[in-house]
Structures are given as C-alpha cells and as structure tokens.
Chain A
C-alpha cells in the first residue's frame, strides 16, 4: 500500500503528521505542566480560559504572544539574534525523523539512528548559545555559556549510555532497537517473555540517560542557563513576542523529543507485549504516546520537587559519577553480551 504512494507526497504527509504530533503534544504538555505543578504546590492552576479547568490556557498564551511587539535590541548582533530560534526549532523537529511510532510508521529508518539523534539534538543547544551571544546582554551571555558547559558535561553520559544499548541491540537503528526489545528473552510455562531494556539490564543506563537528558533540556535541577532568580531570564532575556514563544515552544518540543527517545530506547517504544504487528500498526502510536507522557510526568515531577544545583556540583556530578558509571555499564553490558 505504502509502496505505491509517490515519495514527495509521502514525505509531505510524514512532515504534517510529525508537526501535528509535536505541536499537539507540546501544547498538552504546557497545560499539563501548569496543572501538575499547581497540584504539587496545592494550587488550582489555570482555571478560567476555555470554560472548564482552563484547558485553553496554552492557546490563549500563544495568541497573546502573537500580538506582542517584536523587539531587537540596538546593540545585539542582529543576524545571530534573529537566526537563533530557527536553529533551535530546526534541530528539534529533525529529531523526530528516526522515531518509529509503529512497526511500519517511521519518517525514515536511518541506519545510523542513534548517532543521528545525538548529533541533531545538540543543534538546539547551538541555538541557545547563539541566542546568548547574539543578545549582547550580560545575563544572556552567561546563560549561553552555561548552556555550553552543560552540553559538554552531559553529552558524554548521554552518548555512553546509548553505547550500552547499541551493544545489547547490535544495531543503531531505532526500529531495530524496538524490535530487539520485542524479541523474547526466555520462556516461562510456554509463554515467551520479552522485556524492554529498562527491565533487562539497562536500568543504570536508563537512570543516567534521564538525568543527562534533563541537563540537555536545561530543566530543573539543571536549569542554570535560564535561572530566573539570578539571570533574569538567561539566554531569552532580550527576546520578546513570537521569538520568545518559539524558544518556549522549542524547549517543550525538545522535552517531547527527549521523552520519545527515552520511551523508544528504554521502554520499548510502540511495542507492547501480546499484540501482533498488524495490531501494533494501529495501537503503536497510542502506546508510544502513553510512554512519552509517563516520561514527561517524571520530568515535571523532578522539576517541582528539586532545587537547582550549583554549576560546580553540576560538573562534578557528570565527570565524577555519571561518566565513570556509564563506562562500567558499557563494560558490564559487553561482558554479559559475550558470555551469555
């Protein structure tokens, strides 16, 4: 069926589906964060917009920002300042290329999936750096520099945690990794048991990956580049109106893409035990969405329960704990792979 559709049309449909999913989930996520954080702090959160539970709050915010004046500071580096949001969102949208939402449904099953993800997800940090530098503001500059510091510290645990996954799966393609997780490990009483990687050997990798992805996303407890209480608004201080909204959206879409990566690599992606491939073609996207929201809930939960850590503690955590731990994780995974 799919083979007969022209390439360009198919690509167009894929782009629309990915855009719809990304924007839709991001909007729900913004609302969910407002509501969950409110309930964690015993507040009600958004209440009036949309009639019930304030469900239209994120939409109202988007419309509000659309009407705001767009300011570019006189002393700013004009080109870099204007280009930054483009780089940020381009990197975020491109991560969705390799994420499979069903056995057949993937924008492009790249052979170098994990490699590609790691390369392209750093692009949004480049956008942050550009924003920090281009603003010509001291707070923004410090924010951008801090974002760079976080990238170099937490990119490594991220990469090395995924190396262990690559060893266990024997492939870099994300569809291949999900299929590897769906392969039965052992049989109990005639029933084949297959486990996602978080339950079959990669629990340390999972924890490290979630910590490192929080740092990559500049989320609390690693939100030093934004740090409202010390840097005004960090790298977005000088942005207003829609440009600011784009950074805001980029941040949340980045969370969605990171959660999708975690779900795919560690939680089994679109796969669920007991469903055939043809059933997964229909149910897959919903299963993946449920997993994504579980991970997003973790992200939000962490944000509202932990204080921000200091810059030297951030570096220390990465270099003294996470990187040695991931290296041991690689050694352990490789040994098990050869011995078993």
Chain B
C-alpha cells in the first residue's frame, strides 16, 4: 500500500539520488588513480595567465532583472492555464466551450497587452 501511495515520490527520489551517485562514484574511481600534487600556482583562479585582478565576485550589472519580473508574471500565468487546458474538453462537452474560451482569451489578451506595453515602453531594449 505504502509503495502505491508514495511510489511516485520514491521513484523520483531514487532517480535524483542516482544522478548524484553517478558523480560520486566517478569521483571515487578517479580519486584512486589520479595524481594529486596541489600547489599555489595551480589553485589560482584562471584569468588570462597573469595574477587575477580584483575579486572573482566583482560587481556585475545584471541587466535582465526587468525580464526576470516579466518572467514571474508569465510563469504564474502558465500555471493558471494548465488546469484550464485539461478541463477544456469537459467544458466543451457540456456546451460551455465558448464561455470558457472567451474567459481565457481575456486573460491571455490582458497579458499580451502588458507585454506589448513593455515592448513599446522600451524596457526590453538593451543599451
């Protein structure tokens, strides 16, 4: 019974662990045969051959944060569309197809309008 109920979770967990085990086993085998002679020069960060300038985590301007905001909006939208997509057939069979369609078109249309606004406003342009 337990296996039937939790089978999905167990399967996924085992497969996830397998991926990790694959890396672990590989590293273990490699550890047995590879040389290991660490030195100061070897453990330096590679930049272009000479000593690196400044910190590795130097300030970077992540220019796509507006895209990230848009992404959040659309990703949530996608979550709303999935259940609707699955139930569409049932609604159509009950004769409510047109109503359900129009409702979703309004939803998608609103989001498309938002995207269009963002494009016209120029936020999707990189200077």
Contact = CB atoms under 8 A, between A and B. Distances in A.
A14 B18 CA distance: 11
Contacts of A70: 27, 30-31, 34, 36
B26 interface: yes
Contact of A156 (B35, B36, B46, B74): B74
A203 to B, nearest CB: 19
B33 A73 contact: no
Contacts of B50: none
A37 interface: no
Interface of B: 3, 7-8, 10-12, 14-20, 22-24, 26-27, 29-31, 33-38, 40, 42-47, 52, 56-58, 60, 62, 64, 67-68, 70-71, 74-75, 78, 81-82, 85-86, 88-89, 92, 97-98, 100-101, 104-105, 108, 111-112, 115, 119, 124-126
A145 B60 contact: yes
A163 B56 contact: no
Contact of A141 (B56, B78, B125): B56
A141 B34 contact: no
A97 B17 CA distance: 12
Query: A interface, how many residues as a size bin?
Result: 35 or more
Contacts of A115: 82
A337 B20 CA distance: 42
Determine which residue in B3, B31, B34, B36 has the highest number of CB atoms from chain A within 10 A of its CB, and name it: B34
Given A138-B58, A319-B119, A337 B18 contact: no
11 contacts: A11-B11, A14-B11, A93-B22, A138-B56, A138-B58, A140-B56, A141-B57, A145-B62, A166-B86, A172-B82, A319-B119
Interface string A134-178: 011111111001001100110110011001001100111000000
Contacts of B78: 156, 159-160, 163
Contacts of A160: 74, 78, 81
A89 B19 contact: yes
Interface stretch (A50-58, A263-271, A324-332): A324-332
Contacts of B56: 75-76, 135-138, 140-141
A299 B47 CA distance: 31
A315 B18 contact: no
A108 B33 CA distance: 38
Nearest to B81: A163
B12 A338 contact: no
B103 to A, nearest CB: 11
Contacts of B57: 133, 136, 141
Contacts of B18: 15, 18-19, 90, 93
A303 B57 CA distance: 31
Contacts of B23: 85-86, 89, 246
B26 A149 contact: no
A74 B43 CA distance: 5
B88 A319 contact: no
Contacts of A167: 85, 88
A7 B5 CA distance: 12
A320 B11 CA distance: 39
A319 B126 CA distance: 13
Given A136-B45, A156-B75, A242-B27, A149 B64 contact: yes
A323 B67 CA distance: 13
A31 to B, nearest CB: 19
A142 B56 CA distance: 11
A327 B98 contact: no
Given A108-B12, A238-B45, A327-B112, A69 B36 contact: yes
A15 B14 contact: yes
